[in-house]
A and B are shown apart, each in its own frame.
Chain A
Amino acid sequence: MGIKVVPRYGKSFKDKLYLPAIMGGMKTTFSHFVKNIKDVNKLKTMQYPEVQPDDLNERYRGVHRLTKWEDETEKCVACYMCATACPADCIFIEAEERFDDHDEKRPKEFKIDLLECVFCGYCVEACPCDAIRMDTGIFSFTGGTREEFVLDKKALMANERSKDLNDD
């Protein structure tokens, strides 16, 4: 078995002087400074409100949406599976009888409190009908009051799948 000798530094006079090493470090930082002050636009920092992220993918969990049938009615059957699975208890469902061809039950109201929500995605996994998804790609939801953060059925159904994601 070969032996690798790890070189030890710090014993030579140059290393003990310490100043050459500091000069080397200063050279590095200064070259970065000069490079960046010459052209600020080359910086890797994403100037967020002006530039939006373009690397959202299928696994990104954004604000929820309720999926719909072709006739714009909800797929949700108000089975309460998502509310049961929710670790943050932020889903509030009120069921009612449904009279169209799709199912017997539908949510009269479906509320998600985004201030409570931890965006874990358990509701999406629990759903037996693929009725709730988190693929809207909305990562910054803002509001002025607490009430604005409680999304109702209308708002959840108005959310659409993100345009940045591939349609499959």
Chain B
Amino acid sequence: MSSTIVIAVNIALAVFLAVGLTPVFVWWERRVSGFMQDRTGPNRCGIGPIRLGGLIQSFADMLKLIFKEDFTPSHVRYKFFFTIAPAIVFICSFLTFATIPFADNLVIDGKSYIMSAIPNELGIMWFLAFAGLSIYGIILGGYSSNSKYGLLGSIRAAAQVISYEAAMALAIISMLLSYGSIHLTDIVNAQAGTFLGVIPMWGIFIQPIAAIIFIVCSFAETNRAPFDIAEGESEIVAGYHTEYSAMRFGLFQVGEYAAMSASSAIIVTLLFGGYQIPWLDTPTVQSNMDYIMMALIVILPLKVYFLTKWMKKNNRSKNKEDKSRDLETKILTITFWTISIVIITLLAIFLTIGLGTNGANIATAVLQIGTFLVKFFMMAFVFIWIRWTVLRFRYDQLQMLGWKVLLPLALLNIVVTATIIVVQGN
């Protein structure tokens, strides 16, 4: 029974994080870019008074993409390849998420569960395999479109993939050398502890050069700015998805955001300590559960208070007679307070009756999932932030960067890391 629930929760989490968050990320992308450029971004669309700051807009767009005619241009010669290309991008980006651990191994009644959607030991290899495969969907899609812009986009995607994959894999190798495992749970557990009791022992502090190389390459991996040359809307219309419309285009879009999610998750896992709460490793959390719950009881109302205050200040209509947004603020305030009171009551009940071993383990897992999600969303924000800051690289500049800078640097980093490990081992 408990094993079914754990597996179901893991799969649901992976599906939610990889695919279910696409509307949220589309919303973030628009609003964050808007705020960065002193615009508002979409804030109109709503169901009744509920606007959620424009989140409804992405659902409306999704519905529109689903109900649009699934059109195949007559000049597409191989309809089969044309159709499966977006599916490849989508499935590969989605499956990339499968081995990301959301929490430390969960022990219930003496049985240990790996907290990832597909509990296997392949770890980083799985990520490399599927992340590398998703680019083939893009190449295939542009090639089978049988149009010059699609083909140019595909050529660019192919040139891009050979220039970053090598450097990325080499950066991962140097990280694997210092972690000593390819299994992601082991990698995260290797990042517990601290240097000198202050700096958390995260990958980015152990392997700064590999971290920079890996982050740069994973931006290229996700086909997002500054490396979205395969799309290149200012030069080649829309690149590989020029000929696509409706939900096939939607799948490319979802695939892009799924890849962004997966890349954020893998960056967090490899470089930012994954589910590790800074300065608190798993046994510490399990033994000090009561204090952590007390802290949560104090922190949660404060957060909700500041959130609702911010909402009241910002969710206002310029028209004095329009009361719909005040109504929304009221509804959301009541919802947030209800949720926080329910959680606080639950925590108080657990505090009084005690959790037991299983309970403490599950609570630790929930906390670690929360920590992972916070880091994950921060990394996703960085992806969006970079996209709206950095200019697109030119086709040859990316290859120059990949072959002449990142690859030698990654090789040098491997040599240095290996030397240090051998010297320390002796």
Is B truly associated with A?
A: yes
B-binding residues in A (CB < 8 A): 19, 22, 25-26, 28-30, 32-33, 36-37, 39-41, 43-45, 47, 49-51
Which residue among A22, A40, A50 has the maximum number of chain B CB atoms within 10 Å of its CB?
A: A40
Nearest opposing residue in chain A for B34, CB measure? A36
The answer for the CA separation of A64 and B385 in the assembled complex, in Å, is 47
Contact with A along B316-335 (1 / 0, CB 8 A): 11110010000000000000
Q: Tell me whether B80 is interfacial, beta carbon within 8 Å.
A: no
A49 to B43, CA, bound (A): 13
Q: Which single member of B38, B322, B385, B388 contacts A36 (CB below 8 Å)?
A: B38
Is A19 touching B40 in the complex (CB atoms < 8 A)?
no
Is B416 interfacial (CB-CB < 8 Å)? no
Complex Cα distance, B314 from A39, in Å, reads 6
Which residues of chain A are within 8 angstroms of B92 by Cβ–Cβ distance? Answer: none
B313: chain A residues at CB < 8 Å are: 39, 41
User: Could you give 29 example pairs across A and B, Cβ below 8 Å?
Assistant: A19-B212, A22-B386, A22-B389, A22-B390, A26-B385, A28-B389, A29-B385, A29-B389, A32-B35, A32-B36, A32-B37, A32-B38, A33-B32, A33-B36, A36-B35, A36-B36, A37-B35, A40-B40, A40-B314, A41-B316, A43-B40, A44-B38, A45-B38, A45-B39, A47-B40, A47-B317, A49-B319, A50-B318, A50-B322
Whether B390 and A25, one on each chain, are in contact in the complex, defined by CB atoms closer than 8 angstroms, is: yes
Query: How many angstroms from the CA of A44 to the CA of B34 in the assembled complex?
Result: 12
Q: Per a CB cutoff under 8 Å, which of B39, B317, B389 touches A43?
A: B39
Of all chain B residues, the one with the shortest Cβ separation from A45 is: B40
Residues of chain A contacted by B386 (CB below 8 angstroms): 22, 26
Chain A residues lying within 8 Å of B212, measured Cβ to Cβ, are: 19
User: Count of A-B contacts with CB under 8 A?
Assistant: 52
Secondary structure call for the B interface: loop
In the complex, what residues of B have CB within 8 A of residue A47's CB? 40, 317-318
Note all chain A residues with C-beta closer than 8 A to B32. 33
Q: How many angstroms from the CA of A29 to the CA of B318 in the assembled complex?
A: 26
Taking CB as reference atom, which chain A residue is nearest B212? Answer: A19
Between A22, A30, A33, A43, the greatest number of chain B beta carbons within 10 A of the residue's beta carbon is seen for A33
Q: Which residue of B lies closest to A37 (CB)?
A: B35
CB distance from B94 to the nearest CB of A (A): 29
Cβ 8 A contact of A51, one of B35, B37, B40, B318 = B318
- Residues of B within 8 Å of A22, CB to CB, are 386, 389-390
CB contact between A26 and one of B37, B317, B389 (< 8 Å): that residue: B389
Complexed CA–CA distance, A30 and B378 (Å): 13
B20 to chain A minimum Cβ distance, whole angstroms, is: 24
Nearest B residue to A51 via CB reads B318
Contact residues in B for A33 (Cβ distance below 8 Å): 32, 35-36, 385
Taking CB as reference atom, which chain A residue is nearest B313?
A: A39
Q: Let me know if B38 and A43 touch, CB within 8 A.
A: yes
The B9-64 residues at the A interface (CB cut-off 8 A) are 32, 35-40
